[in-house]
Amino acid sequence: MTDTTSKPGYELTERDEGSALVLYLQGRITLGDADLLLARMNDAVAAGNPASVRIDLSGVSYMDGAGVLTLLRLEDSIRKKGVSFTLVRVPEEIRRVMGLIDREGLTRSPLRAEGGPVGIVEGLGSASVRISEDFAAMMAFLGDLVAAVIHLLRHPREVRWEDVFFYVRRVGAEGLPIVGLISILIGLIIAFMSSLQLKQFGASIYVASLVAVAIVRELGPIMTAILVAGRSASAFAAEIGTMRVNDEVDALVTMGFDPIRFLVVPKLIATVIVLPLLTLYADLFGILGGMIVGVAGLDLTAYTYLQESQRSISVFFLNASLVKAAVFACIIAWIGCQRGFQVRGGVEEVGAATTSAVVTATLLIVVVDSAFAVVLNYL
Amino acid sequence: MKGNRDTAQGPDDPVIVVESLTAGFGETTILENVNLKVLRGEILCIVGGSGCGKSTLLKQMIGLIRPDNGRVLVGGDDIAAVDDERLNRIRRGIGVLFQSDALFGSMTLGENVALPLSGFKGISAETVQLIVRMKLGMVNLVGYENHYPAELSGGMRKRGGLARAMVLDPQILFFDEPSAGLDPINSAELETLIRGINAGLGTTMVIVSHQVDLVLRVAHRILMLDRGAKGIVAAGSPEELRNTATDPRVRNFLFRGEAAVGGR
């Protein structure tokens, strides 16, 4: 930040000539001098109460646009008081700058008023409209996506399999380190926290059951889905959003390709393949994390821990967690791509679409997981 | 008063000196041993075909990339050698209108134009607002301060970018392909502004463009770069080049369709 409050590079001298006040300006007048100079000149005029004011600019070596603006503002304020105002010995360069300034434009109202604070009712109303429009757009896109999937099920040769394998690697293989690390830490935390309670009742062996059930039934699928939403829904939105900004999507359409079949379906297939596998991987690492606590802190053997874990996990719940993972995968691909297609303006909308993709996908994953919890309870 | 210039230098002093500049990307050399001077108050147009190094030279002059070899002196300072504080001070003395206008889409036009002023303390909000209006008035955009860039046409965005580039009264204005993507009317309006600002404020201008008609209309001096030569192949005023240039690369690029020097 540049400090403009330091000593000014100009001098202001006043001379009283009877009813006229003459102000001599000398030196350099720049942006930082504007406010102080205006105040000083106004004070001088107010103190002298003259019938006319003359500003002599012959000693000015440099005056920038802000300096010239200061003179115009002074003129306006002096003329409002009914005092005559004259600029004398104005250097040609300053005169030329003045010639470029649209004086009427300085006070003209903007074509559009500045956006002020929105009232509660108006805010609620516009938010409701926005949400309902957003919901309609999501549903319309889902309809297009389902139609594209049905078409490609009937014509599997049209699927861009090389893109599917690319996204399998991008969404799955490249996500293995972070999913593994988070899962093992979640397993460690659950085992450690539950062991503090269960140890008091001599029920340490149930730590294995608790970790296995929590990880396989709930935390494995949902944590993996949220991690993949963070990594991949954002990437899908950014990729497609940037393509929209660069007219690449329009180019696809003009070449006769359906952008949903071309861009979205490979991502959807890849995510549906990969997320259940990542979930199994997360389950294994979560149980491993719990086993570390069990073996190191609870004097259990690895064999006992694994046997207890195996006993607590039913095939039904394992299958249910894989189905959940597949549904979450659909949500991630659907929302990530839909947010990308929503980009209309410039690059700043790509950032907004990316954020929105992660937030919406995460929200929907949690809502759908809650619905699964209720439904599975009755099965 | 000799002139409304923020230095004690005379009109023929160079404001930018490029000495033995070599630049490129990786193993590829684009510019080799380039020497040039930009004189105070002139409109210098740098022209050439795609890939000849026009934009690279521009980026060297505004300190966005450093030369592999040689020096770029702006106001006497080697911009690759000065510290960051000095470099920022030098940059406040220059304005750049980018090819894509580079207005921030999340800000209104007024906020975009006011942005460079936010680096200064001690300026009242009223002064900032008036400076913004003054600069918007200079580019014929009075009243549009509350519009967002997405709501403006390509020509208006370019002029908005110019208002932002001019807000600190720079001594040097750089233009990267100023008329790219503009229709003839908007392009002509921008040309008028360029000439008017140069004449009115005495601002030195460096324009990088391959739009020959614009260059021939606004340039005081033209430098032509060539990809094969990796440097300057012609320099002079449009009239000098029209009357004296015999190099077929120059004639083909600048005066296609006109008779060659000495031709019938």
Q: Does B173 touch chain A (CB under 8 A)?
A: no
pLDDT of residue B7: 46
Q: Does B84 touch chain A (CB under 8 A)?
A: no
A52 DSSP assignment: E
CA distance A229 to chain B (A): 26
Region for residue B53 given its phi and psi (left: phi exceeds 0; alpha: psi -120 to 50; beta: otherwise): left
Please report which confidence band the pLDDT of residue B118 belongs to, taking 50, 70 and 90 as the band edges. Answer: confident
Q: Which of residues 143-172 of B touch A (CB under 8 A)?
A: 143-147, 149-150, 166, 168-169
Q: What confidence tens digit (pLDDT) does each residue in B203-258 have?
A: 999 999 988 999 999 999 999 999 999 999 999 999 999 999 989 999 999 998 77
Q: Cβ–Cβ of A65/B136 closer than 8 Å?
A: no
CA distance A31 to chain B (A): 8
Q: Which of residues 30-69 of A touch B (CB under 8 A)?
A: 30-32, 34-36, 58, 60-66, 69
- Token pair for B231: 């440097």
CA distance B45 to chain A (A): 23
Contacts of A336 (CB under 8 A, 6+ apart): A229, A232, A233, A234, A235, A236, A237, A267, A357, A361
pLDDT of residue A187: 94
Instruction: Identify residue A229 by its one-letter amino acid code.
Output: A
Nearest to B210 by CA among B46, B97, B30, B42: B46
Q: Which of residues 104-123 of A touch B (CB under 8 A)?
A: 105-106, 108-115
Q: Cβ–Cβ of B121/A2 closer than 8 Å?
A: yes
CA distance B242 to chain A (A): 32
Nearest to B147 by CA among B137, B160, B134, B158: B160
How far apart CA B245 and CA B237 sit, in angstroms, is 11
CA distance B70 to chain A (A): 31
Task: Yes or no: say if A177 and A285 are a contact pair by the CB < 8 Å rule.
Answer: no
Angle at B37 between CA B33 and CA B40, to 5 degrees: 165
Q: Cβ–Cβ of B131/A69 closer than 8 Å?
A: yes
pLDDT of residue B3: 40
Give the chain B residue whose CA is nearest to the CA of A38.
Answer: B127
Q: Does B260 touch chain A (CB under 8 A)?
A: no
Is 50 exceeded by the pLDDT of residue B9?
no
Q: Are strands B204-208 and A20-29 parallel, antiparallel or unpaired?
A: unpaired
Give the chain B residue whose CA is nearest to the CA of A95.
Answer: B200
Is 90 exceeded by the pLDDT of residue B106?
no
Q: Cβ–Cβ of A1/B131 closer than 8 Å?
A: no
pLDDT of residue B263: 52
Q: Name the residue with tokens 């400076």.
A: B131
Q: What confidence tens digit (pLDDT) does each residue in A274-289 have?
A: 999 999 999 999 999 9
Q: Name the residue with tokens 């300096």.
A: A67
Q: What are phi and psi of B136, to 5 degrees?
A: -65, -35
Q: Report the residue from A31, A69, A99 with minimal CB separation from B120.
A: A31
Is 80 exceeded by the pLDDT of residue A65?
yes
- Token pair for B135: 């600069």
The enclosing H or E element of A57 equals strand A52-63
Task: Yes or no: say if B198 and B191 are a contact pair by the CB < 8 Å rule.
Answer: no
Predicted complex ipTM exceeds 0.95:
no
The domain covering A10-104 belongs, at the CATH homologous superfamily level, to STAS domain (3.30.750.24)
Chain A hits for B147, Cβ within 8 Å:
111-112
Give the chain A residue whose CA is nearest to the CA of B200.
Answer: A96
**Residue extents of the structural domains in chain A:** 10-104, 144-378
pLDDT of residue A4: 45
Task: Yes or no: say if A249 and A259 are a contact pair by the CB < 8 Å rule.
Answer: yes
pLDDT of residue A149: 95
The SS3 of residue A8 is coil
- Token pair for A147: 């139609």
Q: What confidence tens digit (pLDDT) does each residue in A296-313 have?
A: 888 888 999 899 999 998
- Give, in order, the Cα–Cα distances in Å from B43 to each of A198, B17, B162: 82, 15, 15
Q: Most B CBs within 10 Å: which of A4, A7, A24, A61, as the mutation test of the B interface?
A: A61
**Is the pLDDT higher at A8 or at A341?**
A341
Please report which confidence band the pLDDT of residue B25 belongs to, taking 50, 70 and 90 as the band edges. Answer: confident
Is 50 exceeded by the pLDDT of residue B101?
yes
Across A252-256, B139-143, B152-156, least confident range: A252-256
Q: What confidence tens digit (pLDDT) does each residue in A3-49 have?
A: 444 567 899 999 988 889 999 999 999 998 899 999 999 998 888 88
Q: Cβ–Cβ of B120/A64 closer than 8 Å?
A: no
Give the chain A residue whose CA is nearest to the CA of B105.
Answer: A348
Q: Helix and strand tally (H, E) in chain A?
A: 16, 5
Region for residue A159 given its phi and psi (left: phi exceeds 0; alpha: psi -120 to 50; beta: otherwise): beta
Q: Which of residues 90-109 of B touch A (CB under 8 A)?
A: 92, 104-106
pLDDT of residue B26: 80
The SS3 of residue A345 is coil
CA distance A153 to chain B (A): 41
Mean pLDDT on A353-361: 96
A209-243 burial, b at 16+ Cβ within 10 Å, e below that, comes to bbbbbbbbbbbbbbbbbbbbbbbbbbbbbbbbbbb
pLDDT of residue B264: 43
Q: Which of residues 331-360 of A touch B (CB under 8 A)?
A: 345-349
Nearest to A267 by CA among A360, A168, A194: A168
Helix H, strand E, coil C: the string for chain B is CCCCCCCCCCCCCEEEEEEEEEEEECCEEEEEEEEEEEECCCEEEEECCCCCCHHHHHHHHCCCCCCCEEEEEECCEECCCCCHHHHHHHHHCEEEECCCCCCCCCCCHHHHHHHHHHHEECCCHHHHHHHHHHHHHHCCCCCCCCCCHHHCCHHHHHHHHHHHHHCCCCCEEEEECCCCCCCHHHHHHHHHHHHHHHHHHCCEEEEECCCHHHHHHHCCEEEEEECCCCEEEEEECHHHHHHHCCCHHHHHHHCCCCCCCCCC
- Give, in order, the Cα–Cα distances in Å from A246 to each of A195, A344, B103: 55, 11, 17
Instruction: Identify residue B173 by its one-letter amino acid code.
Output: L
Q: Cβ–Cβ of A3/B121 closer than 8 Å?
A: yes
Q: Does A75 touch chain B (CB under 8 A)?
A: no
Is 60 exceeded by the pLDDT of residue B131?
yes
pLDDT of residue B128: 95
pLDDT of residue A172: 92
Give strand pairing partners of A10. A27
Q: Are strands B69-74 and A52-63 parallel, antiparallel or unpaired?
A: unpaired
Instruction: Identify residue A218 by its one-letter amino acid code.
Output: E
Contacts of B148 (CB under 8 A, 6+ apart): B105, B107, B108, B109
CA distance A81 to chain B (A): 20
